[in-house]
Amino acid sequence: MSAYWAIFSARLRMLLQYRAAALAGLSTQLFWGLIRVMAFEAFYRSSAAVVPMPVEQVVDYIWLGQAFLMLLPIRLDSEIRAMVRSGTIAYELVRPLDLYNFWYMRTVASCLAPTTLRCVPLLLLALLLFGMRLPSSPAAATAFALTMVSALLLAAAISNLLNITLMWTVAGEGTAGIMQVATFLFCGMIVPLPLFPDWMQPLLNYSPFAGLMDLPFRLYTGHISSDQVTTVLARQLGWTFALVIFSRWLLARGTRVLVAQGG
């Protein structure tokens, strides 16, 4: 276990070095959040239609989305890609560690570090200046915190699956691109999921992507009552578990057919 912990903390410390990039990213995201908030407010102002989510909750939802953007599993691990390309992945197989756990810990760290760097200042600014509200109740806050932790586990599981597919695709830009599309759309980053057409709701609710952002955010705003927390956790962890099983199977197959590139 201590080996995996070491991998995690080394990676975390490395990623926490990039503070200037985080600052620049912060301003970009504040700006994006602002554009989005204004556009949604305009929609709400102008329409008499009955909408399944009040505007104040949408504003909170948008700011949370900006704050936790880096959590989304949309990037491939560039080092793993380089390893597959150059053939040094062979060394990874020699290590006396379980390869899946090894990569999983790396991924958890690379989801966590940029998210932490970005979400703290962004949430502070959004709360103080841009009309975001605190969680609807202490129970909602607890539920939100718990489900965000399992969102991290889920994000890392999806991300790691992407890394494993590199063994077949080598380049991986195509897979990453399509994943990016699916993730952004189905986690609620573009439009909060409750605003999608009603007939799509069951589909959206049960997809693995809802657990990344939408469900925790709705717990935060009180759109889902906080006694639903166990259902949300069960869905997130169920998907995580299923993905881990599938990825492990895929990895086992991958290592058998793997051709180490280069010489």
Partner 1 sequence: MLDALRLYGRYVGVSFRSQMQYRTSFIMLTLGHFLMTGLEFLGVWVLFERFKNLGQWQLEEVCLFYGLINMAFALTDATSRGFDMFSSLVKAGDFDRLLLRPRSTVLQLAGQEFTLRRIGRFSQGLIVFAYGAQTLGIDWSIAKVGLVMLTLAGGASLFYGLIVLQATMAFWTTESLEVMNTVTYGGVQTAQYPIDIYRTWFRRFFTYIIPLACISYYPSLALLEKEDPLGSSGTFQWLSPCIGIIFLALCMQAWKVGVRHYRSTGS
Residues contributing to the site for partner 1 (CB under 8 A):
20-21, 24-25, 27-28, 31-32, 34-36, 38-40, 42-47, 49, 51, 171, 173-174, 177-178, 180-181, 184-185, 190-191, 195-197
Give the list of residues 6+ apart from residue 50 with CB closer than 8 angstroms, or none.
none
Count CB-CB contacts under 10 A for residue 184. 17
Minimal distance, residue 204 CB to partner 1, in Å: 11
The residue among 100 and 196 lying less far from partner 1, judged by its C-beta, is 196
Residue 169 has, within 13 A of its CA and on its CB side, a CA count of 16
Count of Cβ atoms closer than 10 Å to residue 98 Cβ? 13
Of 1 and 20, the one with the shorter C-beta distance to partner 1 is 20
d(CA 32, CA 60): 14
Say how many C-beta atoms besides its own lie within 10 A of residue 10's C-beta.
13
Give the whole-angstrom CA distance, residue 115 versus residue 64. Answer: 11
Judged on CB neighbours under 10 Å (0-12, 13-18, 19+), 250 is middle
Shorter beta-carbon distance to partner 1: residue 2 or 47: 47
Least distance CB 133 / partner 1 (angstroms): 19
Give CA–CA dist 29/98, Å, rounded. Answer: 37
Nearer to partner 1, 93 or 171 (CB): 171
- In terms of DSSP H, where are the helices of the chain? 2-15, 19-46, 55-67, 78-86, 89-94, 99-129, 138-169, 173-186, 201-206, 214-221, 229-257
Cα 24 to chain centroid distance, Å, stands at 20
With respect to partner 1, which residue has the nearer C-beta, 104 or 186? 186
In this structure, are residues 240 and 153 in contact, taking their beta carbons and an 8 Å threshold?
A: yes
Q: Which is nearer to partner 1, 24 or 93 (CB)?
A: 24
Q: How far is the CB of 155 from partner 1 (least distance, A)?
A: 19
Question: To the nearest whole angstrom, how small is the minimum distance from the Cβ of residue 240 to partner 1?
Answer: 25
Query: What is the distance between the alpha carbons of residues 69 and 31, in angstroms, rounded to a whole number?
Result: 14
Instruction: Give min distance, CB of 58 to partner 1, in A.
Output: 11
Q: How far is the CB of 101 from partner 1 (least distance, A)?
A: 31
Q: Which is nearer to partner 1, 28 or 230 (CB)?
A: 28
* Residue 236 Cβ vs partner 1, minimum distance, rounded to whole Å: 24
Nearest distance, CB of residue 214 and partner 1, angstroms:
14
- Closer residue to partner 1 (CB): 119 or 140: 119
